[in-house]
Amino acid sequence: MKRTIFCAVFTLALAVPGAALAADAGSLYKSRCQPCHGPEAQGTAIAPGLADNQFVREASNEEIARTITEGRQGADRKYPQQFPTGMPPQKLSEDEVNQLVDYLKGLQGQ
Protein backbone atom coordinates (compact mmCIF):
# COMPACT_ATOMS: atom_id res chain seq x y z
CA MET A 1 0.00 0.00 0.00
CA LYS A 2 2.76 2.46 0.92
CA ARG A 3 4.55 1.60 -2.28
CA THR A 4 1.42 2.27 -4.34
CA ILE A 5 0.95 5.65 -2.67
CA PHE A 6 4.62 6.51 -3.21
CA CYS A 7 4.38 5.58 -6.90
CA ALA A 8 1.23 7.66 -7.34
CA VAL A 9 2.78 10.69 -5.63
CA PHE A 10 6.02 10.28 -7.58
CA THR A 11 4.15 10.02 -10.89
CA LEU A 12 2.10 13.09 -10.06
CA ALA A 13 5.26 15.01 -9.14
CA LEU A 14 6.73 14.19 -12.53
CA ALA A 15 3.56 15.14 -14.40
CA VAL A 16 3.06 18.53 -12.79
CA PRO A 17 6.35 20.08 -14.01
CA GLY A 18 5.47 18.95 -17.55
CA ALA A 19 2.12 20.67 -17.28
CA ALA A 20 3.82 23.74 -15.84
CA LEU A 21 6.22 23.80 -18.78
CA ALA A 22 3.32 23.63 -21.22
CA ALA A 23 1.65 26.52 -19.41
CA ASP A 24 4.93 28.45 -19.46
CA ALA A 25 5.28 27.89 -23.21
CA GLY A 26 1.72 29.09 -23.75
CA SER A 27 2.43 32.17 -21.64
CA LEU A 28 5.64 32.80 -23.56
CA TYR A 29 3.78 32.55 -26.86
CA LYS A 30 1.07 34.86 -25.56
CA SER A 31 3.50 37.53 -24.38
CA ARG A 32 6.15 37.30 -27.13
CA CYS A 33 4.51 35.94 -30.27
CA GLN A 34 0.77 36.55 -30.07
CA PRO A 35 0.92 40.34 -30.57
CA CYS A 36 2.15 39.77 -34.14
CA HIS A 37 1.23 36.16 -35.00
CA GLY A 38 -2.24 36.21 -33.43
CA PRO A 39 -3.94 34.51 -30.49
CA GLU A 40 -4.46 31.22 -32.30
CA ALA A 41 -1.18 31.50 -34.25
CA GLN A 42 -3.25 31.99 -37.41
CA GLY A 43 -1.37 35.12 -38.44
CA THR A 44 -2.30 38.78 -38.64
CA ALA A 45 -1.82 41.65 -41.06
CA ILE A 46 1.76 42.07 -39.79
CA ALA A 47 3.01 38.48 -39.41
CA PRO A 48 2.33 35.02 -40.88
CA GLY A 49 0.47 32.24 -39.13
CA LEU A 50 2.59 29.75 -37.21
CA ALA A 51 -0.04 27.03 -36.84
CA ASP A 52 0.13 24.55 -39.69
CA ASN A 53 3.12 26.46 -41.08
CA GLN A 54 5.41 24.77 -43.61
CA PHE A 55 8.60 26.33 -42.22
CA VAL A 56 7.81 25.32 -38.64
CA ARG A 57 6.82 21.81 -39.79
CA GLU A 58 9.94 21.21 -41.88
CA ALA A 59 12.67 23.22 -40.14
CA SER A 60 14.93 21.76 -37.51
CA ASN A 61 14.52 22.90 -33.93
CA GLU A 62 17.81 24.77 -34.32
CA GLU A 63 16.55 26.69 -37.37
CA ILE A 64 13.39 27.72 -35.56
CA ALA A 65 15.38 28.70 -32.46
CA ARG A 66 17.70 30.80 -34.62
CA THR A 67 14.72 32.55 -36.20
CA ILE A 68 13.34 33.34 -32.74
CA THR A 69 16.63 34.65 -31.36
CA GLU A 70 17.94 36.42 -34.48
CA GLY A 71 14.64 37.46 -36.05
CA ARG A 72 14.18 37.97 -39.78
CA GLN A 73 15.23 41.32 -41.15
CA GLY A 74 16.15 42.57 -44.61
CA ALA A 75 16.92 39.80 -47.09
CA ASP A 76 16.21 37.13 -44.43
CA ARG A 77 12.50 37.96 -44.39
CA LYS A 78 10.42 35.06 -45.61
CA TYR A 79 7.46 37.03 -47.02
CA PRO A 80 8.72 40.58 -47.71
CA GLN A 81 5.83 41.57 -50.00
CA GLN A 82 3.11 40.37 -47.65
CA PHE A 83 4.75 41.35 -44.31
CA PRO A 84 7.10 44.29 -44.88
CA THR A 85 8.23 44.86 -41.27
CA GLY A 86 10.24 41.68 -40.59
CA MET A 87 10.58 39.92 -37.26
CA PRO A 88 12.60 41.43 -34.43
CA PRO A 89 15.02 39.20 -32.51
CA GLN A 90 13.71 37.96 -29.18
CA LYS A 91 15.85 38.08 -26.04
CA LEU A 92 14.99 34.82 -24.31
CA SER A 93 16.87 32.22 -22.31
CA GLU A 94 17.82 28.99 -24.05
CA ASP A 95 15.17 27.17 -22.01
CA GLU A 96 12.49 29.67 -23.06
CA VAL A 97 13.49 29.34 -26.72
CA ASN A 98 13.32 25.54 -26.48
CA GLN A 99 9.88 25.77 -24.87
CA LEU A 100 8.66 28.01 -27.68
CA VAL A 101 10.08 25.71 -30.35
CA ASP A 102 8.27 22.73 -28.79
CA TYR A 103 5.08 24.80 -28.50
CA LEU A 104 5.25 25.84 -32.16
CA LYS A 105 5.96 22.27 -33.29
CA GLY A 106 2.87 21.23 -31.33
CA LEU A 107 0.71 23.60 -33.41
CA GLN A 108 1.42 21.76 -36.64
CA GLY A 109 -1.66 19.51 -36.75
CA GLN A 110 0.16 16.62 -38.31
pLDDT, tens digit, 9 for 90 and up, residues 55-83: 999 999 999 999 999 999 887 888 888 88
Residue 37 covered by a domain = yes
Residue 90 covered by a domain = yes
Residue 110 covered by a domain = no
Question: Is residue 98 a contact partner of residue 23, using CB atoms and an 8 Å limit?
Answer: no
Residue 25 covered by a domain = yes
| Residue 23 confidence (pLDDT) | 58
User: Average pLDDT of 21-45?
Assistant: 88
Question: Is residue 36 a contact partner of residue 76, using CB atoms and an 8 Å limit?
Answer: no
Residue 36 covered by a domain = yes
| Residue 69 confidence (pLDDT) | 97
User: Average pLDDT of 96-110?
Assistant: 91
Domain interval for residue 82 = 2-105
Q: Confidence band (pLDDT; 50, 70, 90) for 110? A: low
CATH of residue 88's domain is 1.10.760.10
> Looking at the 3D structure of the chain, how many domains does it have?
1
| Residue 17 confidence (pLDDT) | 43
